[in-house]
Structure 1
């Protein structure tokens, strides 16, 4: 879900819907498995619901009129920033710039790291706190609550960190996402198993950066490429999110599958995957440092913009 609250809303909703479509499914039992017909009905129900919500947006959201600005806003008072352009770049030209591909790598790395935690959150917290008898000190219900908590931080990060980027700038905020994320992942791998409080706090910070990074990237694109075709440019950049959706679980599961089954492991089994995420974030950190203002040769000429806008 686009606001980051999917695990908080969609997961319990899906379980309740499955119980409606399959009398043998128990939404309160994590080991309960619904039948194939119930799953088909679930996806159809969710698809119809998403379609209705999206069509509501299609018919109600409009582009502001030319020259519109909020009451009391004076563009002359806005401080010029080196990475915030007043020019415009087309989608076709944007993908020819090194800035686009650096930002593509930044988003890829940030999302990969976030999904790496979110995808294994429930078994991970149980495995990190396993006693000498092999039993986890974290109950299944508590682990499910942990997933919901991460969803809240994912959602809150989209509001808090993206708003912070308006003050300190996009490049510095991504340096924070990636730089502090490196530290958080390292600490999670080395000392996260000592305390559930430390573990939860570190995981929550990582997920807040995941949400913040996803929410901040449209503004980063606008700063670099202008508003001319920023929606189309954003669509192309989201291919990084798609790749990360595959890469994150593959990295984590690739390491864990060699150790056993998540939910039956220990903290030590997760360390290689977590240290790999440190490297992934370091790559993104370097890519963010390399971002510079877009060269003038990629800017749209005024006459080109006028002709295109009139079509």
Structure 2
């Protein structure tokens, strides 16, 4: 199959950051787009490694051990929750803006926000002002996460209408794999900068902020969009009769909010994310407490990196598989298998079986990541591709909600049990059993998803007018 575009009109002297300036010219290969998208997602995927900072951040004043005025884990847990919340909110509100200005400007703005947020957070650590970490990493950095997340996805779906799942998997696996690099890198940087007066976190934030800004900017400069009417050579859209859950029609962003399918898929994503994101936020601490005196901080960082590897790989493999088994069937696997794995996790922890404990969470994280990469294709199948970027952005409010719900469940249920005499090693049992129920509810929501009614489809005239 040829992936070289057909001749397109000149963009003339369009401003460098305008959408017109990013339209691909003749001879451009669509396979140049995934690396640019991957570069951006690999950077913002650092969010999944934030748990490696939690331990050192509880010792900013005490250095070697927590002092009375040091931050607690429950206080620090809100940094990650805020980042995910603003990821979803910024993606939702910027959806129409993305469609208007194009991916280059959106991705560069993301680079400024994410890199700048880390710098503000560094100042917060230096001055020991938790509000600056909430503002820097949580709010500003979270906005960078949202803008950087949604813009490459909608672009790739347009370049790969023949392999929607694979295309979104190629980009979003970078987000899942960011921690694989960020976790050991962050630990190494903190050890390098650590001194008698510093735990090394603030200096590490500065280095990461500058490095991620540069890398994301390169991705933004390299991104291109296909010209109007472009399609892969020798490819024709599948007939609706043979692909009942893949539409050839389009639904407007605002109209999508009037369909039950949007809210059912919203719940599907919310429940799948809730079941995994709280564990990610406390992965390093969780495995050390579950296997006390057995798992070191360095080994726990390796565990975080391993989860990142499966999170990344699952995003590509599960999304690619969904091109063949269907998006709905893929989510059935996520919810059913995930519930079984969560049910047996406490048993493996209680018996000291680290290998099966790690394997369960690796599989869970592969499906957690697969849920993110499969949902844009799910939306394109249900609502068409004309406004999939904006619809995807609004759906990511489910991620924002789960970014609060998941960590709160893990952190506060853990704190409640410890306060009532439960050993730290057993403090996650109730939480993972709650996750089993969450996943079973998600199974039912996915079961209820049907094709969108014809009354919601846009007419040719509306498509031509853009409304």
TM-score normalised to structure 1 length: 0.85
Cα distance in structure 1, aligned partners of 2:394 and 2:453? 20
Contact 2:274 2:405 in 1 (8 A): yes
Candidates 133, 139, 149, aligned match of 2:296: 139
Cα distance in structure 2, aligned partners of 1:75 and 1:290? 26
Contact 1:185 1:278 in 2 (8 A): yes
Closer, same or farther: CA 300–48 of 1 in aligned 2, 3 Å: farther
Cα distance in structure 2, aligned partners of 1:184 and 1:121? 16
Shift of 1:14: 3.2
What is residue 205 of structure 1 aligned with on the other side?
363
- Gaps in structure 2 of 5+ consecutive residues: 1-44, 46-171
**Structure with more contact order per residue of length (Cα contacts < 8 Å, sep ≥ 6):** 1
Candidates 373, 387, 394, aligned match of 1:236: 394
Cα distance in structure 2, aligned partners of 1:209 and 1:145? 20
Q: Does 1:290 align with 2:433?
A: no
Count of aligned residue pairs for this structure pair: 292
Cα distance in structure 2, aligned partners of 1:233 and 1:44? 34
Contact 1:127 1:265 in 2 (8 A): no
Cα distance in structure 1, aligned partners of 2:196 and 2:270? 37
Stretch deviating more after TM superposition (72-81 or 244-253): 72-81
Stretch deviating more after TM superposition (69-78 or 291-300): 69-78
In the TM superposition, 1:38-49 aligns within 5 A as: 39=202, 42-49=204-211
- What are the superposed Cα offsets for residues 97-127 of structure 1, whole Å, 9 maximum, x if unpaired? 1111111111111111111221222232233
Closer, same or farther: CA 228–296 of 1 in aligned 2, 3 Å: same
Shift of 1:23: 5.3
What is residue 29 of structure 2 aligned with on the other side?
none
What is residue 268 of structure 1 aligned with on the other side?
426
- Gaps in structure 1 of 5+ consecutive residues: 27-31, 131-135
Cα distance in structure 2, aligned partners of 1:268 and 1:281? 21
In the TM superposition, 1:1-311 aligns within 5 A as: 1=45, 3=174, 4-18=176-190, 22=193, 24=195, 33-34=199-200, 39=202, 42-75=204-237, 80-130=242-292, 136-194=293-351, 195-260=353-418, 265-308=423-466
- What are the superposed Cα offsets for residues 65-94 of structure 1, whole Å, 9 maximum, x if unpaired? 334333443446898311111100011111
